[in-house]
Structure 1
Amino acid sequence: MLEGIHHVAIICSDYPRSRQFYSEILGLKIIDENYRKERRSYKCDLALPDGSQIELFSFENAPTRPSRPEAQGLRHLAFRVQDIANAIEHLSAQGVECEEVRIDPYTQKRFTFFADPDGLPLELYELPAN
C-alpha cells in the first residue's frame, strides 16, 4: 500500500533563515514557493534527489514544540548520505555543528546528528553506494 514518503512538513520560526538553511546549506532544490495572503504564510516545497520533499511553512505566532529531552512525537528527520565525512565537512564549512559520529549497533552504519535553525534534530545516515 505505502510506497515511500512524499514529504515532511516543517513550520519555521524564521522563514527566510530556514529557507536559506535547507536550500543553500543542505542543497535542496526549491521547486515551488508561494505566499498565501489569506493565511499570511509562506509555503516552500524543496526536493531531495530521490523525489521526496520537505515543505517549509511560516505561521505567525506558531507555538514552539519541545524536541529535547526526548519528547513524544516526531523524534528526528534522517537524511541518507553516501559519505558521512564529506557531508559533515560541508556542514562544518557552513557553520553547522554535528555531533560525534556514532555506529548503529544493529546495522553497523555510521550516523550523526545536527540541528536546523529551530533546533529540529536532523540526522545524517551513511549508506554507501553499492
Structure 2
Amino acid sequence: MVESFVHHLCIQTNTYIETLKFYTERLGFKVVQESPDFHGRNFNTWIQLGDFYIELQTGKQDEILCDGNANSQGLTHFCLWVEDLNTEVARLRELGTEFLMKNNEFIYYVENGSLCKIKAPEGTIVELRDNKGI
C-alpha cells in the first residue's frame, strides 16, 4: 500500500461567517485561503490546524443545504486532540460553545481517556479528547 494520510475534510454550511469564526476563534484553525465566488459558491475556504485542513464551503448560489442526521451512515464526528481537556472545556464554555452533554456532564470517560463533544454552527460534531482521565 502507498503511504497515505488524512489531508482534509470538506464541510458545507449555510452559516459561513459563524462557522468560520467557530473554527478559527474557538478551535484555533487559521485561514490559509479564502476564495469568494468559487465555481457557483459564495465561498470556498481552506483552514488549517497543524497538518490537518478543513475545506469550508457554502452551497451553490441560491442553494439551502439540508441538515445532516446523526443516525445516518458516514462521518458522524471528527476528533481533535487537546493537551488539557479540562482547561479547553472551561475556555469553550466561557465562549458560549454548544456542548453535547452525556449524563449531564461536559466531560466523560471512555476507554483510553476522557472526551467531550461540541457542535459547530453548521452542525458538525467535534470531539475533543485527551488521555489524562477525568
What TM-score, normalized to structure 2? 0.82
CA drift of 1:15 comes to 0.8
Q: 1:81 touches 1:127 (CA, 8 Å); kept in 2?
A: no
CA drift of 1:66 comes to 2.5
Match of 1:53, as an amino acid?
A: Y
What TM-score, normalized to structure 1? 0.85
Matches within 5 A, 1:6-17: 6-17=7-18
Q: 1:111 touches 1:126 (CA, 8 Å); kept in 2?
A: yes
Task: Measure the CA separation in 1 of the matches of 2:8 and 2:119.
Answer: 19
CA drift of 1:120 comes to 1.5
Residue number in structure 2 paired with 1:21: 22
Task: Measure the CA separation in 1 of the matches of 2:98 and 2:130.
Answer: 17
Task: Measure the CA separation in 2 of the matches of 1:26 and 1:2.
Answer: 28
2:98 counterpart SS class: coil
Match of 2:56, as an amino acid?
A: L
Match of 2:115, as an amino acid?
A: F
CA drift of 1:55 comes to 1.1
2:4 counterpart SS class: coil
The root-mean-square deviation of aligned C-alpha atoms, in Å, is 1.7
Task: Measure the CA separation in 1 of the matches of 2:38 and 2:53.
Answer: 23
Residue number in structure 1 paired with 2:58: 58
Structure 1, unaligned runs of 5 or more:
none
Which consecutive segments of 4 or more residues in structure 1 shift more than 3 A? Answer: none
Moved more, 81-90 or 38-47: 38-47
Moved more, 88-97 or 29-38: 29-38
CA drift of 1:38 comes to 4.0
Q: 1:80 touches 1:127 (CA, 8 Å); kept in 2?
A: no
Q: What is the aligned length? A: 124
Residue number in structure 1 paired with 2:31: 30
Give per-residue Cα distances to partners, 1:79-117, cap 9 Å, x unaligned. 111110111111111100332212123x2x111111000
Does the alignment pair 1:117 with 2:121? yes
Task: Measure the CA separation in 2 of the matches of 1:37 and 1:112.
Answer: 34
CA drift of 1:76 comes to 0.5
1:23 counterpart SS class: helix
Q: 1:76 touches 1:121 (CA, 8 Å); kept in 2?
A: yes
Q: When you count strand as a share of all residues, which structure comes out higher?
A: 2
Q: 1:12 touches 1:58 (CA, 8 Å); kept in 2?
A: yes
